[in-house]
Chains A and B, each alone.
Chain A
Amino acid sequence: MNDAAILSVAGLRAKVADEDLHILKGVDLVIRPGEVHAIMGPNGSGKSTLAKVVAGHPAYEATGGSVTFRGEDLLDMEPDERSQAGVFMAFQYPVEIPGVSIANFLRTSLQARLEDDEELDLFDFQELLMERMELLDTDPSFAQRPVNDGFSGGEKKRNEILQMAVLKPSLALMDETDSGLDIDALKIVAQGVNTLRQENPDMSVLLITHYQRILNYIIPDMVHVMFKGRIVESGGPEVAMELEARGYEEYRKAHVA
């Protein structure tokens, strides 16, 4: 069964690279092509860490278990290799790159995917960028702004989704992309994700969120609850509904007990 999985995380343990601080304490997760999985859980439970370990952030070290992407060992790959293989992470806190326009940034990202002697066709790139910006109802001038520099929270999230739409990953890790978005922006983002999924029905999404709200627009196949570095409950969309109503209190009690 795992052969069919696009992402398979088994018994994953991870700690902060230069400290003895263990964050992920045995995570199991299987995502098949085309599926949407949501991960919910209180602040500090390890959701972002899971996404970053899958994307290859050097601040963390996997100390046990495995992460397999389309049958390949992800933990063995550099972050850029993972990206080129089709993994994309929309950051919870995107970083500023002063002086580098979004267009330049994306052009460089696409160029990096080509062989050394191949040049990205700038005309095709412009066309793709324009079309993707239209999809996300974004003003063309947006692409000329320096990456995340002076952006509002909402603009940063929109920029993440624009990048995702241009890079067309097969696995999107979306870390609290919905936080800080008003309802209109949320709808545009959700619509963007859904369009990408229509374009590529095999594209899978791991959606980290605090709110059930976004799940009304991007319908999950599975919802997982993460607590203290483990997935403590998994189920259908109803899990998100219940969480919204009851909160995390019962997990806390269970954990103490």
Chain B
Amino acid sequence: MPTNEVIQGLGLDDYKFGFVTDSEPVFRTRPGLDAEIVRQISERKDEPEWMLKRRLKALRIYDAKPMPDWGGDLSELQETLDQTYFYVKPQEQMERSWDDVPENIKQTFERLGIPEAERKLLAGVGAQYDSEMVYHSLKEEWESKGVIFDSIEDGLRNHPELFRKHFGTVIPAADNKFAALNSAVWSGGSFVYIPPGVELETPLQAYFRVNQERLGQFERTLIIADEGSRAHYIEGCTAPVYSTDSFHSGVIEIIVNRDAFFRYTTIQNWSNNMYNLVTQRARVHRGAHMEWLDGNLGSKLTMKYPSCYLMEEGAHGEIMSIAYAGDGQHQDTGGKVIHVAPNTSSSIVSKSISKGTGRSSYRGLCKVYDGATNAKSNVECDALLINETSRTDTFPYIEIDERSASVGHEATVSKVGDEQLFYLMSRGMDEAEAMALIVRGFIEPIAKELPLEYAVELNRLIELEMEGSVG
């Protein structure tokens, strides 16, 4: 096992996104949550009556549902939520040009490299700051082809029928406690529509930044990829390091229509004081293809299981995830695939790394309904433990009601061994370099799927994490 110097936890100071921006919100609700606060949020957004009703109903569901007693430790969450600002509005209105975004907020995103990435590699960018999208823009080329990429609020305002037809149909409020919470207080997130046959050549990206201390961020995203379309959506998130805990609970609903292809990539790099409880689900139609690529690097506790509901013949779902749990972190992640129709196929590949007192859990569900003939599913989860104090668990649930289904499951746990370290060191690498190379090799099958700048970021992070004060 590696020496103590090398495996010493990463001080939070290594987290380069931990800076705070000095900005005054234009409005915020008082801490805590009740019906009045939900009304205030809806009013601020100038919403139709039906949405307010939905929100209030969702709040009742949220109040009625108990805290989950599985997954991570949520015993102190209620206390955090009582202190949380559920809605913080950073600026008067969302802008379509960075020039119109208030200077300090704009600088925040510049430090995060967003405008630059937008110019170079993206079809469109949305930037959320605390509770609202402060910027949203789509390149003219795609707008003229009928692509819609807007804040969720503008989606509701400008495309009321399309919105109402799909909103909450993939993830109803009653799905789980945090989906209910999000349905009550959602704010920010994207509304995306890709018209039939349109193939986006570069990704859309939404970036989520929390700045306010004790904020709850509840973005809501609704994506409809229409027949034969093709697109890739990337989500990134970071926050300052505060001594108090913050809370993030998003809901992402995706509808992938016939023969469409959609990939949703998340690089979650929250600071280590963040609860990150997210519900992501895609409904996949005939011959369509959905991929979740999920990187969970930050947060205090993440509970997140992207899922694919394979509703029609030939639908395909893939979930690839990397979780990194450093000191004090718990990544409870995995995926769910639900086979409802014949000849559907799915695969889950999950890799986790636990270091120091970090803990990672794989939690997955593979369900095949009766009549989903010849459904095929394969699950592979691999855990790498860096230290004796690191921990990993696997909770694979498999429910099969169809005889012709074929389902495979494979799980491995490995430790970075002395033999591996010595082998690399005997070639001239120091212990931290050796460790970083082993870890990078371990995640390589998934890292190579990441957009380049994120792969580079991930490598940098691993190097930082493995570096200690050797010597």
Contacts and interface: CB of A to CB of B under 8 A. Distances in A.
Contacts of B442: 98-99
A105 B437 contact: yes
Given A95-B419, A97-B420, A100-B440, A112 B426 contact: no
A82 B428 CA distance: 8
A95 B425 CA distance: 12
A2 interface: no
Contacts of A112: 427-430, 433
A97 B424 contact: yes
B130 to A, nearest CB: 38
Contacts of B424: 97, 105, 109
A78 B430 contact: yes
Contacts of B426: 55-56, 79-80, 82-83, 88-89
A138 to B, nearest CB: 18
A56 B427 CA distance: 12
Please classify the interface of chain A as helix (H, G, I), strand (E, B), loop, or mixed, using the class held by over half of its residues: mixed
Contacts of A104: 437
B425 A78 contact: yes
A170 to B, nearest CB: 13
Contacts of A80: 425-431, 434
Nearest to B421: A58
Interface string B406-439: 0000000000011110111111111101100110
A58 B418 contact: yes
A234 B423 CA distance: 30
B192 interface: no
A55 B426 CA distance: 7
B449 interface: no
Contacts of B419: 95
Contacts of A252: none
Q: Choose among B431, B438, B441 the residue with the greatest number of A CB atoms under 10 Å from its CB.
A: B441
Given A59-B418, A79-B422, A99 B428 contact: no
A89 B425 CA distance: 11
Interface string A58-69: 110000000000
A80 B442 CA distance: 22
A83 B434 CA distance: 13
A52 B87 CA distance: 62
20 contacts: A56-B425, A59-B418, A78-B425, A79-B422, A79-B426, A80-B426, A80-B434, A83-B425, A91-B423, A95-B419, A98-B441, A99-B442, A104-B437, A105-B437, A108-B429, A108-B437, A109-B427, A112-B428, A112-B429, A112-B433
Given A82-B426, A83-B428, A99-B440, 13 more contacts: A56-B422, A78-B425, A83-B426, A89-B426, A91-B423, A97-B441, A100-B437, A100-B444, A105-B437, A112-B427, A112-B429, A113-B428, A167-B428
- A-B pairs with the 8 shortest C-beta distances? A99-B441, A99-B444, A100-B441, A79-B425, A109-B427, A83-B428, A95-B423, A112-B428
